[in-house]
Chains A and B, each alone.
Chain A
């Protein structure tokens, strides 16, 4: 962790050259989306046998003043590293960047990642490459994200920006001062349900989980809430029994939560409840009716041939009443079909009424 390394904490540098005052010395705030992290971890699993670490490009968005960086996406870049030299596939980086920008025009290059916490001379070289003028992130600083993937240790991520260092031109090219910046891992609203499912897979032996249905999900949610309530209840009763240390902050918080419950007359509740349940009933009834009609028409469409011609003819009258029945039978659609259409119209009227009812509620 941070205790064993020492960082030189300085004010944020103003980029390689004092170009403008558009960004002050306020610290950079880095937010990492989970899917970028997942990509990085996946990449580190797919690295070559002889590679200690792999690198890649980070894409994302930058706030207008450049102080907040949102890392949303990333892709792997092949590179080879020996004791003497490092080689990054520049062509690959360029093609891939162009390809990514075509699919996500909003994202820009923000920096690079490596799957090891070590910072060495090569890191500085690559960092300068990503931060350079032209293809790099200049005038914004390039962000360097390291994710340690050492087996047996907790995964750990860090973010840095850099300052130029060195007196001569050559020295400046292969050295830089890495400055740690704070970062957080954030997920968007849309990813919530996905992550929820993914995280259920983590506790299982085979690391898999099935997609759950709506009702099961609801059941699980209720269970979770009940669990939470029990926990709070336990805490409160242990405070009352003087077993646990009472905390004013927690008490205040619980009081606030309790006061959020709306004050509604029981009669109002009863009325709203009845109204709502009737609306839902109507809609679900209609949906079921339609469903039955389709199934019926399906049966008639596939089964009509097995019946003799006479029997089928005898059914025509009945089919007229079965609304959709005539629709798909060949040979005698006229009557059944017309009945079907009327039925449809009728049903649609019913639906519109139901709709109105839902809207009114």
Chain B
């Protein structure tokens, strides 16, 4: 009796291991609206909330969500925050809402979300939920008719590395991990229940152009570009700071190597003279000597994140620039007619 059960457990474990990778995050319109509302209301303060839903094969369904109250810096409140979450989940379960955490959402300002905190939160979530995503929403871009919604997760190889806290150049090279591989973006799909679709159809008029389209055709994107540039420059400053750190490290490393060489030569000369005098040679290694103490290598995580951030800004700028070109040429053509 015991054996078959053991085997079936094993089988279960085996089948779980080959679980298909996450391909799509499917969000209900309700959850999107709730996220938008919460983020917008507190903008420009950054807010977070919990995502609820189901994990179905390669699709992660997000069917509901609830906001977290704005966190205060007290430790007391931290416990309260956890209680809030539990109470809320309990209450939602009573009315048949999917009671399964699948991740969290947070608002951002122009995509400046790649921080160490985000990774820490990810690791915390990952401990309890095997598959979780972070939905990032940027309320500042909605005035341009853009729905800046992104679903992210950490890549597996990065998580391994983070768990061992190993961000030396050597390890990274071994794993062949670069800054591109920290986050994985997952495509988002929006779905609605039949009832909501019916309702939307009933409400909507037959005008082909919505206000949203007009927003998208706005010519002035300078404020957006400007702020992107500001952030980009800030990031560049940060990056050069990081670079200085590395320079310092390499300089002290080379100084140390020179010192080691000098010490070694001295020791060899001494040994040679001792040999000539018929004495035992001294060992060529001396761990107690401060010269041989390894210099700690600064972590590359920060510079990775900054690089990610920069890449993000560059992409945004490029996107907006591309749109701008189209709009400008369109305008010119219109005026020539």
Asked if chains A and B come from one complex, the reply is yes
Smallest CB–CB gap between A356 and chain B, Å?
A: 10
> Which of B40, B172, B199, B209 has a CB less than 8 Å from the CB of A41?
B199
CB proximity to B under 8 Å, residues A59-108: 72-73, 75-78, 89, 92, 95-96, 99, 102-104, 106
A125 interfacial contact with B, CB 8 Å:
no
Residues A201 and B33 in contact in the complex (CB < 8 Å), given A284-B321, A298-B180: no
Tally of chain B residues near chain A (CB < 8 A)? 117
B163 interfacial contact with A, CB 8 Å:
no
Residues A333 and B247 in contact in the complex (CB < 8 Å), given A42-B28, A220-B213, A291-B311: yes
Residues A95 and B314 in contact in the complex (CB < 8 Å), given A38-B30, A269-B335, A341-B243: no
CB proximity to A under 8 Å, residues B289-337: 297, 300, 303, 307, 310-311, 313-315, 317-328, 330-332, 335-336
CB proximity to A under 8 Å, residues B221-272: 222, 225-226, 229-230, 232-233, 236-237, 239-240, 243-244, 246-247, 249-251, 253-254
Cα A104 to Cα B325 with chains together (Å): 41
Across-interface contacts of A276 in B (CB, < 8 A): 324, 328
Contacting pair A193 B328 (CB below 8 A) = no
Contacting pair A359 B28 (CB below 8 A) = no
Contacting pair B96 A46 (CB below 8 A) = yes
A332 interfacial contact with B, CB 8 Å:
yes
A183 interfacial contact with B, CB 8 Å:
no
CB proximity to B under 8 Å, residues A248-278: 264, 266, 269, 273, 276-277
Across-interface contacts of B97 in A (CB, < 8 A): 46, 76
Residues A198 and B216 in contact in the complex (CB < 8 Å), given A42-B30, A217-B146, A341-B244: no
Q: How large is the interface on A (under 10, 10 to 19, 20 to 34, 35 or more residues)?
A: 35 or more
Contact with A along B92-116 (1 / 0, CB 8 A): 0011110000000000000000000
Cα A99 to Cα B214 with chains together (Å): 38
Contacting pair A35 B33 (CB below 8 A) = yes
Cα A276 to Cα B69 with chains together (Å): 43
Residues A361 and B222 in contact in the complex (CB < 8 Å), given A44-B195, A202-B200, A333-B246: yes
Residues A333 and B250 in contact in the complex (CB < 8 Å), given A41-B195, A191-B33, A202-B200: yes
Cα A42 to Cα B222 with chains together (Å): 40
Across-interface contacts of A76 in B (CB, < 8 A): 95, 97
Residues A196 and B210 in contact in the complex (CB < 8 Å), given A103-B69, A190-B40, A358-B229: yes
Binds A, one of B83-91, B117-125, B275-283: B83-91
B34 interfacial contact with A, CB 8 Å:
yes
Cα A103 to Cα B202 with chains together (Å): 32
Contacting pair A209 B210 (CB below 8 A) = no
Contacting pair B244 A298 (CB below 8 A) = no
Cα A340 to Cα B307 with chains together (Å): 14
Closest to A37 in B: B199
Cα A270 to Cα B239 with chains together (Å): 40
A294 interfacial contact with B, CB 8 Å:
yes
Contact with A along B177-188 (1 / 0, CB 8 A): 111100000011
Contact with B along A206-247 (1 / 0, CB 8 A): 111111011101101110110110010000000000000000
Contacting pair B195 A149 (CB below 8 A) = yes
Across-interface contacts of B233 in A (CB, < 8 A): 348, 351-352, 355
Contacting pair A99 B84 (CB below 8 A) = yes
Residues A155 and B195 in contact in the complex (CB < 8 Å), given A104-B41, A273-B328, A290-B314: yes
A26 interfacial contact with B, CB 8 Å:
no
Contact with B along A37-60 (1 / 0, CB 8 A): 111011111111000001000000
A334 interfacial contact with B, CB 8 Å:
yes
CB proximity to A under 8 Å, residues B158-183: 169-170, 172-173, 176-180
Cα A224 to Cα B207 with chains together (Å): 9
CB proximity to A under 8 Å, residues B63-82: 63-64, 66-69
> Which of A39, A72, A102, A329 has a CB less than 8 Å from the CB of B30?
A39
Across-interface contacts of A338 in B (CB, < 8 A): 247
> Which of B37, B180, B300, B315 has a CB less than 8 Å from the CB of A191?
B37
Contacting pair A217 B37 (CB below 8 A) = no
Contacting pair B169 A214 (CB below 8 A) = no
Residues A301 and B178 in contact in the complex (CB < 8 Å), given A103-B69, A327-B246: yes
Closest to B174 in A: A305
Closest to A42 in B: B30
B201 interfacial contact with A, CB 8 Å:
yes
Contacting pair B197 A201 (CB below 8 A) = yes
Cα A239 to Cα B254 with chains together (Å): 86
Contacting pair B303 A95 (CB below 8 A) = no
Cα A35 to Cα B237 with chains together (Å): 42
Contacting pair B172 A301 (CB below 8 A) = yes
Contacting pair B87 A99 (CB below 8 A) = yes
Contacting pair B326 A198 (CB below 8 A) = no
A199 interfacial contact with B, CB 8 Å:
yes
B143 interfacial contact with A, CB 8 Å:
yes
A218-B216, A224-B208, A333-B246 given; name 17 further pairs at CB < 8 Å: A35-B30, A41-B195, A78-B95, A149-B195, A194-B33, A198-B32, A199-B200, A207-B193, A221-B216, A224-B209, A277-B328, A290-B310, A294-B311, A298-B179, A328-B169, A328-B246, A332-B250
- A–B complex contacts, Cβ < 8 Å, 5 sampled: A102-B69, A290-B314, A294-B179, A337-B243, A355-B230
Interface residues of A (CB under 8 A from B): 33-35, 37-39, 41-48, 54, 72-73, 75-78, 89, 92, 95-96, 99, 102-104, 106, 149, 154-155, 185, 188-203, 206-211, 213-215, 217-218, 220-222, 224-225, 227-228, 231, 264, 266, 269, 273, 276-277, 280-281, 283-284, 287-288, 290-291, 294, 297-298, 301-302, 304-305, 324, 327-334, 337-338, 340-341, 344-345, 347-348, 351-352, 354-355, 358-359, 361
Which 5 pairs, one residue from A and one from B, show the smallest C-beta to C-beta distance?
A333-B250, A284-B321, A35-B33, A190-B40, A221-B213
